[in-house]
Structures are given as structure tokens and as C-alpha cells.
Amino acid sequence: MEAKLRSLTQEQKSKFDTEGYVIVKGLFSEEDLAAIDRAFDDIGNRTVPGHFEPDLNPATSDPLKRYPRVMHPHRFDETSMKYLLHPPVMDVLADLYGEEALAAQSMFYYKPPGSRGQALHQDNFYLKVEPGNCIAAWTAIDPADEENGGLLVVPKTNDYDIVCPDVADAKESFTAHYVKPPKEEKAVPAVMDRGDVLFFNGNLIHGSYRNKTKDRFRRAFICHYANESATHIAQFYRPLYRADGTAVDLELNEGGGPCGVEFETVYPH
């Protein structure tokens, strides 16, 4: 069998291995992005029980009530399933894992002007991929920067243990958990153009600030993956999918992680 060509340069792979993240430019074409635009423009004006439940009252004061995140759109929307398994993304993941990836989750964030951010956290606290780790593919549908609440990452925390989170500031974060970075590292902005993809390790501490603009959304299509050799994952993320769309059921990871079972009913990532 002919060996697959690398999707990443050695420099990109090294950055992911040492820093815990890497931005890959232009993995989505404008044609791809236009299809995603259309899908989520449609979803944004209706209710999908269990996945997207907006408050469509024009008097709603919290922009995140009008535009909450869409959870698992691949379970009801063909476009989302297509781009969850986007071949350029799956190829990069195969490079990063050293084996094929299994798709576990899709999300879409509208992040309208004025909306709160998400406190610093670690993804594999929620996914519980074992053995191995999850990797996120965070695609910028709009340009993402410090003003409109682009993602923040804490470099070199990819080897940091999964820790029990503290309580986040509800005035600034729409989720309840906060993970404090180690003293020697600080959060830095991941500035991205439309169509760029940020890949990061499931232990990496990351989050976002409030969208401070008055007229710019910060839309993002965010997917999470597990390595093919993983055997366990949390219930919320099953079934998973191979690159060809075949469903895979890993064993249920029922452990409470570092915090015990009282943290089992928190906000799924």
C-alpha cells in the first residue's frame, strides 16, 4: 500500500507536540464555508429540540439566549456531518495521532456581539478519551481575534494533568468551570482568518473572552476527535464515526475523573 503523504510540515507537527496546538491555514475553501454559512443561517432561525433551543423573543437581553451553541449538529444536519469528516481535517488528525481519527462531536458557536466567553478549561475532562486523548479541530467561520472573542490557548499545558476545575465567573463565562493556568504560563490569543483550523490537545487549557464588538459575530465550527486505538469515551459522545462515515461504539467511560461523580452532570463540552 502506498504511504499517505504528510498533511503537516515537520515544523507544524513539532509545534503541536511541544506547544499543544497548531493553526493550519485555509483547510476550508470558500465553497466549503459558504455551505456551512447556509446550514447555520437556516438552523439559527428554528428550534431543534435537544440540539439548538434559542429564545426567539426579540426582547431577549442575553445574546446567547438568542444564539446558544448548537450541540451535535451532525446528528440532524447533513452539511455538519460532511464537514465533521472533512478529508483535509481527517488527514491532519491522522498526522497528529499517528493513526486514524474517530469523529466524536460537532458544535457550532455563533458568538454574537456582546456575548460572554467561555472560561479556561480542558476538553478531555469532558470527553474522557482513554487510552490516548481527544483533539479539537476549531474552524474559524468568521475571522477570530481579541476584540470579537477569539480563542485563547495556554501554550505547553498539553502535558498538564486533567484537573478538577474551580467555579467560573458567570458574568463573563456561559459555562460553569474554570481551570487556572500554571504560574509559568499565560493565555495567548489564537488569531485566525476565515477557514483556518486550530488543532489542540485535550489537556491544553483554553477558553475565550467576551465578544466586545457591537457588530461582529465570531462563528466557529468545532469538532472533537478520538484516536482509533481508544477504547473508552464519555456517553455524550457516542457513537463515533470513521472517515468513511461508519459508526463506531467505544466502551462507556463511567469514571468521575479527578473530581468524582458529583461533576458528572455538568455542562457537556
Reported as a single tens digit per residue, the pLDDT across 128-181 is 999 999 999 999 999 999 999 999 999 999 999 999 999 999 888 998 999 999
The CATH number for 23's domain is 2.60.120.620
In a domain, 203, yes or no: yes
In a domain, 263, yes or no: no
- Give the span between the Cα atoms of 234 and 85, in whole angstroms: 20
Phi-psi region of 256 (alpha: psi -120 to 50; beta: other; left: phi over 0): alpha
In a domain, 265, yes or no: no
Contact between 28 and 86 under an 8 Å Cβ cutoff? The reply is yes
0.85 exceeded by pTM: yes
Q: How far apart are the first and last CA of the chain?
A: 38
CA pseudo-torsion sign 267, 194, 101, 44? positive
Q: Half-sphere exposure of 132 toward its Cβ, with a 13 Å CA cutoff? A: 21
In a domain, 210, yes or no: yes
pLDDT tens per residue, range 95-132: 999 999 999 999 999 999 999 999 999 999 999 999 99
CA distances from 257 to 104, 154, 161, 181, 192 (A): 19, 22, 11, 19, 32
Contact between 154 and 161 under an 8 Å Cβ cutoff? The reply is no
Q: Which of 121, 109, 125, 100 is nearest to 228 (CA)?
A: 100
In a domain, 269, yes or no: no
Residue-range definition of the domain harbouring residue 89: 10-255
Q: Average model confidence (pLDDT) for the chain? A: 93
- Report helix, strand or coil for 224: strand
The reported pLDDT for the residue numbered 252 is: 96
Q: How many residues does the chain have?
A: 269
CA pseudo-torsion sign 39, 45, 46, 47? positive
In a domain, 262, yes or no: no
Phi and psi torsions of 127, nearest 5°: -75, -35
pLDDT-derived band at 255 (thresholds 50, 70, 90) equals low
Produce one character per residue of 8-39: b if its CB has 16 or more CB atoms within 10 Å, e if not: beeebbebbeebbbbbbeebbeeebbebbbeb
In a domain, 144, yes or no: yes
| Domain count along the chain | 1
- Give the span between the Cα atoms of 68 and 70, in whole angstroms: 6
- Report helix, strand or coil for 148: coil
User: Which residue did the predictor score with more confidence, 207 or 263?
Assistant: 207
Q: How many CB atoms lie within 10 A of CB 111?
A: 29
Contact between 224 and 101 under an 8 Å Cβ cutoff? The reply is no
Q: Which of 75, 74, 83 is nearest to 32 (CA)?
A: 83
Helices in 98-180 by DSSP H: which ranges?
124-127
